[in-house]
Amino acid sequence: MPPVINTIETLLVDLPTIRPHKLSMTTMACQTMVIVRMHHSDGVEGIGEGTTIGGLAYGPESPESIKTNIDTYLAPLLVGQPSCNIQALRARLNRHARGNAIAKSALETALLDAQGKRLGLSVAELLGGARQVHLPVLWTLASGDTEKDIDEALLRLEQRRHCNFKLKIGANPVDQDVRHVAAIKEALGDRASIRVDINQAWDEPAAVRGIQALQDAGIDLIEQAISAREHAGLIRLSQRFNVPMLADEAVQDARDGFELAAGGFSGAFALKIAKSGGLYGVLELAHVAKAAGIGLYGGTMLEGSIGTAASLHAWATQDDMAWGTEMFGPLLLKDDIVVEPLHYHEFGVDLPQGPGLGITLDEDKLSHYARKY
């Protein structure tokens, strides 16, 4: 008898961050993850994670909506279905439920984890095989304080944990943000690559002024300076400056990637399993980017270890991520809910080994941090 999906359980898990994490639209002191536990009739359990940033501040799905929509609409579409045809299950979810990319990503991750455990293969192997087993990882400096950010960067460099840094800007006036970034670049010099993420905070005239100053200060990459929906503006910025643009919120899936590429965008795309509805969707976007000569960047929604591991399995199948990854989510959290945390060293992280995601839940930690009703 081929296995079928028996039950799907969702848990909201709140973990405090090691310091306030300041973005242009919110400041995070805690991260909330939706953890999926999917049980199959052959006794296999698959785990997945759906995570966003700042409740509804970052995007249209909140942790609570992800949980509710899985429990109410998506899980009933999967329960009782054969477990192994993940493409058929993806199509079924997409046919009956629009949007909800983060919820779908959490479910697809759990399906892949279970299938890998069943077959004795890692998720990267299920996707065709790993071309890298140690991936570079950037760190985000977002304490809100220039001196603290410089100290944090120097410490990470000395620990050989990170040598690429992303600065979150856009909450302050443009000139103040530019001074903050330039001071950090000046302090770190050629020892580090400095990039910025504006998270859509500027309009196009402010972006033209700000990016010119950031380019002059030696910044390497400009992430999502203007509104996600302003594709034409983002294309204009990419054609105007030498410093490359990184599209993040503007590029959710392969369709967005195709539109930007066809419109003349150049630069890089931030890939996130959460934006593309899972690992297959994000790899479709990667293929469009590659065909268009657009660079790849392994992005995060600041997921914990499960979502980060799932993303790593997808990125590992690629040999040329021009801009590396930012898979540091677990390092921003004070604690973890897995038995063996991801191993960060030598400016990167190891791809977890073993069947499925290669991750085991720590039941005590999970029940400690799971939201109680």
Give the interface with Mn ion as residue ranges (CB under 5 A): 197, 223, 248
Shortest distance, CB of residue 326 to ligand MUC, whole angstroms? 5
At 214, list the tokens. Answer: 């950031």
61 interacts with ligand MUC by CB under 6 A = no
Q: What are phi and psi of 104, to 5 degrees?
A: -65, -35
Q: Is 326 a catalytic residue?
A: yes
Nearer to ligand MUC, 89 or 333 (CB): 333
Spatial separation of the C-alpha atoms in residues 249 and 80, rounded to whole Å: 35
At 95, list the tokens. Answer: 């046919």
Task: Considering only the stretches 97-105, 237-245, 250-258, 298-306, report the one whose residues sit in contact with ligand MUC under the rule CB under 6 A.
Answer: 298-306
CA distances from 348 to 128, 139, 161, 299, 371 (A): 22, 10, 7, 14, 31
Shortest distance, CB of residue 299 to ligand MUC, whole angstroms? 6
Tell which one of 108, 149, 177, 326 touches ligand MUC (CB under 6 A).
326
CB of 265 closer than 8 Å to CB of 94? no
Shortest distance, CB of residue 205 to ligand MUC, whole angstroms? 22
Catalytic pick from 168, 185, 272, 275?
Answer: 168
300 interacts with ligand MUC by CB under 6 A = yes
Spatial separation of the C-alpha atoms in residues 250 and 233, rounded to whole Å: 11
At 332, list the tokens. Answer: 């921003």
Nearer to ligand MUC, 106 or 332 (CB): 332
**Site track for ligand MUC across 158-197, x = CB under 6 A:** ----------x----------------------------x
Shortest distance, CB of residue 294 to Mn ion, whole angstroms? 16
Nearer to ligand MUC, 140 or 311 (CB): 140
199 interacts with ligand MUC by CB under 6 A = yes
**Site track for ligand MUC across 11-50, x = CB under 6 A:** ----------------------------------------
Shortest distance, CB of residue 7 to ligand MUC, whole angstroms? 32
Interface positions with ligand MUC (CB under 6 A):
53, 140, 142, 168, 197, 199, 248, 299-300, 302, 326
